[in-house]
Each structure stands twice: as structure tokens, then as C-alpha cells.
Amino acid sequence: MARSLDSIERIGVVGAGTMGSGIAQVAAQSGYDVVMRDIEEEFVQNGFDSIESSLDRFVSKDKIAEDEAEATLDRIAGTTELSDLADCDVVIEAAVEDMDIKQDIFADLDEEIPDDVVLATNTSTLSITTIASVTDREESIVGLHFMNPVPVMKGVEVVVGEKTDDEVVEFAHALAEDLGKETWESDDKPGFVTNRILMPWLNEGIRAYDEGVASKEDIDKGMKLGTNVPMGPLELADHIGLDICLDASETLHEELGDRYKPAYLLKRKVDAGDLGKKTGKGFYEY
């Protein structure tokens, strides 16, 4: 079984968006060959562009040498065919946060990928157990929730599904650590550790701003200086993406009730297309 780091040479990544490209980058920087797959060639190329920009920033800040950046890119292959992941020793899914889409992907992976290969999902809120239920290898499916931006953030949340083998959980911790991350573990409960606590904090910061408690600048400054966090709630929401925050909040609201109800202003911003840093405007302008 491909559940020992000694047996891992090639990592598959499903999804070339912000999270998928970031996971592909850190895997390649750690010396693994990577196959990054998305449904359209344009999305795959966008993923490569994102990786190249990230590596360029690391080079400009003297965090890595230029030849290391080039070697990292050389280790990554792009594809639109899921079957091209068949030779991978572990596969990490990082598609959009939609249960139907993830289940479709995992059902297809179950057909394409050898039975002894661990399949991981980067979901931030959705049930590992429900995602795994469409496969014949529920014991081999685990959550590997990377933080955004993946190349910078040091944490990975390992999420244990109802039927996930202990051996697979240990493997997930070891793999994340080999990618230069630190891990913590969560049971398969809505929001896991991070988003279960983070989303109410973000929403309350947004409500405080909407209700005129303070300016957005003072809300963020107060939380940074008062609680020693690197970003305040409004700044962090912009950084994550307001649409992503809304999706996560709505999922948790459905699962856990009104304490997770999304702030009205968050919905209004998303409806207006002001999604944060990625669109140039959210609560702040970029």
C-alpha cells in the first residue's frame, strides 16, 4: 500500500485554482513530481501562471534561488485528463467547495486510481465521510485542509472521516510535515477546527462594521493589537475571498444553526462582485 513516504514519488492534484496550484507548488518544492489537473486547459495554464508568480516573489525576496524555482516548475506537469493521475502515489483534491462536484470527482478517482492509493480532499467545511461515501475505499480517504496562501501558511488540518484508517491518518500527518507544514487533527464535524471558530469571528467583525461600532480600519487594528493576530477580520475576509467566506458560512449555518448566519453586508458585497483582494475591491481597495 502506498501509505509510506518512502513509496511516494508522484503527487496528483485535482484543481489548478488558488489552493490546487499552491498545493502543487509546495509538493514540487519538496522534491515530488506533480501532476496538476483541471477541467480546461485555460485553468491549468492559470495555475502555472500563479505558481510562477509565487516563485518569482520568493526569488525576489531571496527565499529561494532562481534555479530552485526553475526546478520546481519543471517537476509539475499539467493535464485536463483525470486518467493522467493514474500513476500518482497519492492524490489531493482541491476543487470548488461544492459537495456534488467533489463527490463526482471522488467517484471518478475511485475508478481511475489504484485501490491502494490514498485520496485526500482539501475541503474546508464539507464532510469527509459524505465525500468518501461514493467510493469503495472510504478507509483510504482523509481531509488535508491546507491554509491559504498554501506556499506561505505553515498549517494543515488533518480531518478524520468516519471510516478513515488510523494508518491513513498517520500518513496524512507525515505527508503534510514532509511538505514543510505543521499539522493538527480534527474529527469530521462541520467546519472542523479552523472554520468552525474562524467564520463567526469574521462575520461578527463584518457586523460590527455594518452596525457602526467602528471604522473598518479600527476594527482590524483593534483585533490585531488586542489579540495579537496578524490580520483583522475584514482584512482577512478580503484576503480569503468574500465569496469563499460566504460559502463556508452558509454551509455552517445549514449544519449548525443561527450562530453561523452570514452577515448581511457579506452577502451584499458578494452580490456586488466585490470579492476582496482577488477582484481588487472588498472591504478595502487593492
Q: Are residues 183 and 198 in the same domain?
A: no
Q: Are residues 155 and 236 in the same domain?
A: no
Which residues lie closer than 8 Å to 170 by C-beta, 6 or more apart?
A: none
Of 187, 221, 243, at which residue does a domain stop?
187
pTM for the model:
0.92
Residue 286 located in a structural domain: no
- Say what the pLDDT of residue 7 is: 85
Report the CATH number that the domain containing residue 239 is assigned in CATH.
1.10.1040.10
CA-to-CA separations, 164 to 93, 158, 168, 184, in angstroms, rounded: 16, 11, 7, 16
Q: How many domains does the chain have?
A: 2
- Say what the pLDDT of residue 4 is: 75
Q: In what side-by-side order are the strands of the sheet with 90-93? A: 76-79, 33-37, 10-14, 90-93, 118-121, 141-146, 155-160, 182-187
Q: Are residues 96 and 180 in the same domain?
A: yes
Residue 124 assigned ligand-binding role: yes
Q: Are residues 58 and 122 in the same domain?
A: yes
Residue 283 located in a structural domain: no
Q: Are residues 127 and 24 in the same domain?
A: yes
157, 186, 235, 249: which one is catalytic? 157
Q: Are residues 26 and 148 in the same domain?
A: yes
124, 186, 203, 249: which one is catalytic? 124
Instruction: State how far Cα 84 lies from the chain centre.
Output: 22
Query: Averaged over 3-15, what is the pLDDT?
Result: 90
Residue 278 assigned ligand-binding role: yes
pLDDT digits (tens, 9 = 90+) for 234-258: 999 999 999 999 999 999 999 999 9
Q: Are residues 260 and 183 in the same domain?
A: no
The yes-or-no answer on residue 124 being catalytic is yes
Q: Are residues 206 and 97 in the same domain?
A: no
Residue 200 located in a structural domain: yes
Grid cell locating 168: 491513513
The yes-or-no answer on residue 145 being catalytic is yes
Q: Which domain holds residue 20?
A: 5-187
Residue 232 assigned ligand-binding role: no
Q: Are residues 219 and 145 in the same domain?
A: no
Residue 281 located in a structural domain: no
Residue 203 assigned ligand-binding role: no
DSSP string of the chain, one letter each residue: -B-SGGG--EEEEE--SHHHHHHHHHHHHTT-EEEEE-SSHHHHHHHHHHHHHHHHHHHHTTSS-HHHHHHHHHTEEEES-GGGGTT-SEEEE---S-HHHHHHHHHHHHHHS-TTBEEEE--SSS-HHHHHTTSS-GGGEEEEEEPSSTTT--EEEEEE-TT--HHHHHHHHHHHHHTT-EEEEEES-TTTTHHHHHHHHHHHHHHHHHTTSS-HHHHHHHHHHHH--SS-HHHHHHHH-HHHHHHHHHHHHHHH-GGGPPPHHHHHHHHTT--BGGGTBSSSB-
pLDDT digits (tens, 9 = 90+) for 106-130: 999 999 999 999 999 999 999 999 9
Instruction: State how far Cα 172 lies from the chain centre.
Output: 15
Q: Are residues 122 and 237 in the same domain?
A: no
Residue 16 assigned ligand-binding role: yes
- Say what the pLDDT of residue 2 is: 54
50, 93, 140, 145: which one is catalytic? 145
Residue 115 located in a structural domain: yes
Residue 19 assigned ligand-binding role: yes
Burial environment of residue 53 by CB neighbours within 10 A (0 to 12, 13 to 18, 19 or more): exposed
pLDDT digits (tens, 9 = 90+) for 127-160: 999 999 999 999 999 999 999 889 999 999 999 9
50, 140, 186, 195: which one is catalytic? 195
Of 153, 187, 221, at which residue does a domain stop?
187
Residue 158 located in a structural domain: yes
Report the CATH number that the domain containing residue 146 is assigned in CATH.
3.40.50.720
Q: Are residues 174 and 223 in the same domain?
A: no
| Measured distance CA(231)–CA(239) in Å, rounded | 9
Residue 280 located in a structural domain: no
Of 171, 187, 203, at which residue does a domain stop?
187
Q: Are residues 77 and 177 in the same domain?
A: yes
Residue 231 assigned ligand-binding role: no
Query: Averaged over 187-206, what is the pLDDT?
Result: 97
Grid cell locating 100: 456534488
Residue 112 located in a structural domain: yes
